[in-house]
Amino acid sequence: MPFLEITVPCTEREQPRYERALEDVGALAVVLADAHADAPDEQAIFEPGVGETPLWGELLLTALFPAETPQALLLHALAAVDDGLDWSRAQFRDVADQDWERAWMDQYEPLRFGERTWIVPWNHDLPEGADAADAAVVRLDPGLAFGSGTHPTTALCLQWLDGLAREGVLDQADVLDFGCGSGILALAALKLGAKRAVGVDNDPQALTATHDNAERNGVADRLAVFAPSDEPVHTYPVVVANILASALVALADTLASRVAPGGHIALSGILAGQEDEVIARYAQWFDDLQADQLEDWMRVSGRRRD
């Protein structure tokens, strides 16, 4: 069905009140966007750190309502819910029907990482090469979670996992995917030979997407998902964390403690120029730390001292 779209500007401090008011009057969906996305000096937010919900200083809130919703009545209802907010700047637009969550999939093609790893949309035929007997194929539907393989930070981690598989490191190993998003890295590890995997994320949508993708790939019995507060404390021979440099630095003690002696770690979500700080933070626990770059992004990897 078509929709009525309402967009209202607000500050980060006001955002929870605006969003709550829109939801209270029956919004079908609410989306946040940077009010200055085109500004050359504006910093993009790709994924929040675990336990964080960072926002831009000034935002645009966009909500969808059924197309037949009267605009004047909607504004009256919003003012009644919270008359301390300024709804006079709200703008309306009629939006044609579309499957918003699936629209991007039309442009999403299968991707190969390393020698054996393939990420294939769940509704796409297997391409040539992905049908090989030793191919590690992940059938993916990211849903609303971060992680489709198209971003360089994810690609760097997939290439690293594929390399570990070539060395035999993943064979029957347990793997921790910290900041799992869609579950793409944990799933790839399992398809490459890992025995079990654990995914941790602070976003409930990410935990849902990871669980759904695990079922889609037939590995739900080998992949467990947890919020950070519920994560059982274990050590793993392989740990991968694709979050942000600031979160990697803040969580260094936690992540280092999850790596078994002699185990391997990969840290991604690091912009070029931030890798030295990450390396310095982890050098007290890890040897052979190295940084690899793809476009503007870095991956730091190393091995835990025995």
> Using CA of residue 91, residue 96, residue 99, residue 104, what is the dihedral sign?
negative
Q: Do 156 and 227 meet the contact criterion of CB atoms below 8 Å apart?
A: no
State yes or no: 202 annotated in a binding site. no
Residues 40 and 145 in one domain: no
Residues 164 and 259 in one domain: yes
- CATH number assigned to the domain comprising residue 18: 3.30.70
State yes or no: 7 annotated in a binding site. no
Can you list the positions of beta strands (E) in the chain? 3-11, 29-34, 58-66, 91-95, 111-113, 117-121, 136-140, 174-178, 196-200, 223-226, 236-242, 259-271, 286-294, 297-304
Place of tokens 């900041």: 179
State yes or no: 153 annotated in a binding site. no
- The count of C-alpha atoms lying within 13 angstroms of the C-alpha of 237, restricted to the half-sphere facing its C-beta, is 14
Q: State how beta strands 111-113 and 117-121 pair.
A: antiparallel
pLDDT in tens, 139-155: 886 554 445 556 888 99
pLDDT for the residue numbered 52: 45
Closest CA to 25 of 84, 92, 70, 89: 70
Place of tokens 């185990």: 263
pLDDT in tens, 203-258: 888 898 899 999 999 999 999 999 999 999 999 999 999 988 889 999 999 999 99
pTM of the model: 0.68
Q: Which residues contact 83 (CB under 8 A, 6 or more apart)?
A: none
Place of tokens 């992949």: 223
Domain boundary pick from 72, 98, 124: 98
pLDDT tens for the chain, 306 residues: list them. Answer: 678 999 999 888 888 899 899 989 988 888 877 665 544 443 433 344 444 444 456 788 888 898 889 999 999 999 999 989 999 999 999 887 655 445 545 556 788 999 999 988 877 788 888 889 999 999 886 554 445 556 888 999 999 999 999 999 999 999 999 999 889 999 999 999 999 999 999 888 889 889 999 999 999 999 999 999 999 999 999 999 998 888 999 999 999 999 999 999 999 989 899 999 999 999 999 999 999 999 889 999 999 998
Residues 54 and 165 in one domain: no
Structure tokens at 98: 């579309």
Residues 117 and 264 in one domain: yes
pLDDT for the residue numbered 116: 94
Residues 291 and 142 in one domain: yes
Domain boundary pick from 83, 98, 113: 98
Residues facing residue 58 across a β-bridge? 11
- CATH number assigned to the domain comprising residue 236: 3.40.50.150
User: Residue 233 — φ and ψ, nearest 5°?
Assistant: -85, 115
Residues 120 and 243 in one domain: yes
Domain boundary pick from 34, 66, 98: 98
For the chain, what is the domain count? 2
Residues 268 and 285 in one domain: yes
Q: Helix 71-81 vs helix 15-24: angle between axes, to the nearest 10 degrees? A: 120
Residues 257 and 161 in one domain: yes
Q: State how beta strands 3-11 and 91-95 pair.
A: antiparallel
State yes or no: 174 annotated in a binding site. no
Range of the domain at 61: 3-98
Q: Do 298 and 271 meet the contact criterion of CB atoms below 8 Å apart?
A: yes
Residues 84 and 135 in one domain: no
Residues 56 and 163 in one domain: no
Residues 14 and 90 in one domain: yes
How far, in Å, CA of 185 to CA of 236, rounded? Answer: 15
pLDDT for the residue numbered 204: 86
Residues 205 and 67 in one domain: no
pLDDT for the residue numbered 108: 63
